[in-house]
Amino acid sequence: MSVLNILKYPDPFLKKPAEAVPEKEDVSDLIKDMFETMYNARGIGLAAPQVGVGKRVIVLDVSPVDETSKSLALINPEIVSREGREESEEGCLSVPELNVKITRASKVTVSGYTPEWEVIQVAAEGILAIALQHEIDHLDGVLIVDYLSRLKREFYRKKIKKMYAQRM
């Protein structure tokens, strides 16, 4: 297992929609590395595009927030139903130093495959529902900055450029 590099906004790769993983393709090493990377960064979710892999793979572990939850890896996840509305503040490992209030479905059902290529359906609410929607957004090339107004997005973009310039 190894810790992968997490791409940061405004890396253009983050805006590219991910490709479906061909059935039965072995992505177990990618999934292990993604979990390792997510835990190392103290995140609760990670999508393959965030580590420079254009495949529809996500990993989640919301147990730091919801102790009843366990870790989850999904291949080719799709939201098949949404219910209710809920606003919450979200951060992102690829979008440093930004929290955005986002309104999402309060309950979702997501269908996809386990790492062993078994069909799985996950009915989720609370933090797990939010995390699933957030990570699936990544697979579609959508970031939390896309939920900001144009003015706020431009302000954040300038702040990030300045921050990166200071590190050089």
Q: How many domains does the chain have?
A: 1
Q: Is residue 100 in a domain?
A: yes
Q: Is residue 71 in a domain?
A: yes
Tally the C-alpha atoms within 13 A of residue 37's C-alpha that lie toward its C-beta. 24
Known catalytic residues are: 135
Return the closest-CA partner of residue 75 out of 39, 107, 122, 108: 122
Q: Using one digit for the tens of pLDDT, what is the confidence trace for 16-61?
A: 999 999 999 999 999 999 999 999 999 999 999 999 999 999 999 9
Q: Is residue 143 in a domain?
A: yes
Q: Is residue 6 in a domain?
A: no
Q: Is residue 19 in a domain?
A: yes
Q: Is residue 47 in a domain?
A: yes
Q: Using one digit for the tens of pLDDT, what is the confidence trace for 138-147?
A: 999 999 999 9
Return the closest-CA partner of residue 135 out of 82, 86, 75: 75
Q: Which domain holds residue 56?
A: 12-167
Residue 168 has pLDDT above 80, yes or no: no
Whether 109 contacts 121, CB under 8 Å:
yes
Q: Is residue 1 in a domain?
A: no
Terminal CA-CA length for the chain: 29
CATH of the domain at 51: 3.90.45.10
Can you name the residues that pair with 120 across neighbouring β-strands? 112
pLDDT at residue 63, as a whole number: 93
Q: Is residue 7 in a domain?
A: no
Q: How far apart are CA 130 and CA 165, in angstroms?
A: 33
